[in-house]
Amino acid sequence: MLQYLLTFVVLGQPATPPAAGADKPAAEQSQPAEKAAAGDKKPEAAGNPCDKNAPRPANKPKKTLPPVGPRTDIGAGTYWMPVANSDMAEHVDGLFLAILAISIFCFVGITIAVVYFAWKYRHREGHQAPESDAHNDALEITWTIIPSIVCVIIFLLGWKGFVDLNTPPKHAYEITVVAEKWKWSYKYPNGWVDENLHVPVGEPVRLVMRSKDVLHSFWVPSFRVKQDVIPNRYTKIWFEAKTPGVYRQYCAEYCGDRHSFMKSLVVVHPPGGFKRYMEEAEQALLDMPPVELGEYLYAARGCNQCHSTDGTTKTGPSWKGIFGETHQTSAGAVKVDENYIRESILDPTAKVRAGFNPVMPTFKGQLKDEQIDGLITYIKCLK
């Protein structure tokens, strides 16, 4: 301010007054600007549980489930059979082709004989039918003994295959298979549950199977194995895959209106790949954010067979936009919140939504609390 007065006295004209605080140290002058800038910033929004691309700590990179890869059984195999990829396949194919060859031989031979004799002994004017023998011992013995021998051989070969298929090696790797409308679940000894069957190459695998609802049938064409899966009892089957690849598995027993959708993949891992997959898959599942975990379980646990995420009505109500709504149920009007979703997962018949049948199985004892939380978060995010 003193400098301003001196300039006015000497020059006779006012000078531009200094800005407020100009005579203060630079450090002090910068503080208000920094405070103002800080005041203009809006507080960061709270974390969005539906954001799958949210930033993650640098020391904890995002892990994903190992990819399955394309199917290797498409376009493979022969004209008669799909690609063969198990020890039992050779035996089954050999027996099938042998029976087919015998059937073709008999069909062609009998057809030719019928046509020939029908022409040779046709009715003609002036010809009398000769007398024929009442029977021919040699001929009758021949057409009795030879077919009997052939049938016994086929039976013995079939019995051998049946016994081999139902007698797994003692060191076979055991996997629990659960069938229900309309999905397959595969549970491994370490507790990991997958929607696809993963097996090591060159090692025997034993499947212990049961059904939660109706009769199903486990069938892998490339392995030549098929076994009914029955409610209230266990059935077993085993195989040993010879070549790594991805193959299709089907349900071969009609089990309802979505029977044709009840299929999964069989992934045969190369040496060392199976153990590595189990470790990576389990770690990736533990590391998933809740919304991603819920989305994975939606497919892996077969929720997508009865519930859509696009508003389409299936066997069960769609999950799209239901969180926070109030629906009529068998127990009255209920608001769809965390408690109702949890109860519906663990006790699905307690409050059945109006217009739907109580056909959903319980997942009590099958899902951990973290997994239920993931499903709830996923439903919340389906706007």
Closest by CA position to 247, among listed 281, 172, 196: 196
Over the chain (383 residues), what is each successive 10-residue block's mean pLDDT? 40 46 45 44 53 58 63 71 86 90 94 93 80 82 92 93 88 91 86 86 92 91 92 92 91 89 91 86 74 81 83 87 88 89 89 87 80 87 84
Burial call 109-140: b when 16+ CB within 10 Å, e when fewer: eeeeeeeeeeeeeeeeeeeeeeeeeeeeeeee
Q: Is 227 exposed, middle or buried (0-12, 13-18, 19+ CB in 10 A)?
A: buried
Residue of 355, 303, 329, 297 lying closest to 180 (CA atoms): 303
| Cα(211)–Cα(233) distance, integer angstroms | 8
Residue 61's pLDDT is 54
264 phi, psi to nearest 5 deg: -145, -175
For the chain, which residues make up each domain, given as ranges?
87-120+139-165, 173-284, 289-380
What does the block give as tokens for 111?
Answer: 């057809």
Local structure of 116: helix, strand or coil: helix
Instruction: Provide the H-helix boundaries in the chain.
Output: 2-11, 26-40, 87-120, 137-165, 273-287, 290-300, 338-346, 369-380
Q: What's the CATH fold of domain 289-380?
A: Cytochrome Bc1 Complex; Chain D, domain 2 (1.10.760)
- Beta-carbon count within 10 A of 267 CB: 24
Rg value, the chain, Cα: 37
Q: C-alpha 5: how far from its chain's center?
A: 87
Token pair of 82, please?
Answer: 């799909």
Please tell me the distance from the alpha carbon of residue 168 to that of residue 171, in angstroms, as a whole number: 8
Judge whether 367 and 345 are in contact, CB under 8 Å: yes
DSSP SS3 for 161:
helix
- Residue 227 has phi, psi (to 5 degrees) of -150, 135
236 within 8 A of 166, measured Cβ to Cβ:
yes
- The residues near 158 (Cβ < 8 Å, ≥ 6 apart) are 95
C-alpha dihedral sign at 192, 196, 201, 202: positive
What CATH number should be reported for the domain whose range is 173-284? 2.60.40.420
